[in-house]
Chain A
Amino acid sequence: MIRPHRHQPLWWAFALHRLSGLALAVFLPLHFLVLGSALNGEAVFDGVLAWSDFGLVKLAEMGLVFLLALHLLGGLRLLALEFLPWRDGQATLAAVAGSASAVIAFAFLFNAI
């Protein structure tokens, strides 16, 4: 349950940053294993990459692109918040980061299909 004191946009920005970071950290070893399969020859690597032709995998990849963009842009907001002079409107900046991430994710999907 999301408790009432968390009903504000920047709590959600935090939650998304944390969840996207966790998802990326879990995905990273798998990503490295896929790339590492090239050690066993180009054919093996191609065999692993063939998975990305499935629609469901493409959608999952789109999700990962979204999470990566979100973690990047949300993270840039946090770096700016901590290391530059204070500026108001953090919720707006977080919304911009979220929207831009969605645009990037859809750009990926349109290129992928």
Chain B
Amino acid sequence: MGADGGNLSVRIWKGGAGGRLIEFEAPQRANQTVLDVVTWVQRHRDPGLAYRFACRVGMCGSCAMTVNGKPRWTCRTHVAKVAQDSRLTIEPLRNLPIVKDLACDMTVFFEKWRDARGRFEGRATRYDDIECIAPETPARQAVDAGIECINCAVCYAACDVVAWKPDYLGPAALNRVWTLQNDTRDAAQAERLAAVAGEAGCHNCHSQQGCTTHCPMSLNPTASIAGLKRAVFMAALRGEV
């Protein structure tokens, strides 16, 4: 499957929520990614096909789609690894509204990032010295473990709790919050903990680890969320949240 030759049978989602899968034939190539296939179909078979990508090297997080039922970053997913009998089914990400075809509306995903207070809120000014953060401290190690998120929403699409409880903040936003709660320079940790302790908060997580299983950056949102649960548990006992 690594070499050129042969055809792929590709079924691609067309339309909005009420759309359907359309079958295309596409040539099989060596070192071909799923994004390559989608691009080939758009250029040679269906110019109206809508999808989203930018960097093509796994940095921007914009090309995630559902490939044979699993959420993946398509630019770094090799066809040879995921095709079953030279067949691919490519759909938009789960748990997000579809704009058209393979492009979904990421608004809710980023609104939750905001609602969870996933923004650094420092207390230092430009007149203060740069703070020294020792890399070996446990807090900084916790930050390092979670900080490489590219906002691709693969974890969000993999999460059953999001599917069942659409208000749930989801693994990406909560993982981000955990990195900020371990950032010693941040000044809004009490408020942020309250933001993830509500009805839509971190304690909804059932540790199915779908997020961790599918994260293309090999992050572990389940572990981050477990850290937040501990913090919420202690804060609730103290009557703070």
Contacts and interface: CB of A to CB of B under 8 A. Distances in A.
Q: Is there any pair of Cβ atoms, one from A and one from B, under 8 angstroms apart in the complex?
A: yes
Contact of A81 (B71, B213, B226, B233): B226
Interface string A1-14: 00111101011011
Interface residues of B, number: 22
B230 interface: yes
Interface of A is mostly: helix
Interface in A62-113: 78, 81-83, 86, 90
A10 B69 contact: no
Contacts, number: 46
B197 to A, nearest CB: 15
B50 to A, nearest CB: 23
Interface residues of A, number: 15
A82 B202 CA distance: 11
16 contacts: A3-B69, A4-B68, A5-B69, A5-B210, A5-B214, A6-B160, A10-B209, A10-B210, A11-B208, A11-B209, A14-B206, A81-B207, A81-B222, A81-B226, A82-B229, A86-B220
Given A5-B70, A83-B233, 16 more contacts: A4-B68, A5-B94, A5-B158, A5-B214, A8-B209, A8-B210, A8-B213, A10-B208, A10-B209, A11-B209, A14-B206, A81-B222, A81-B226, A83-B230, A86-B226, A90-B207
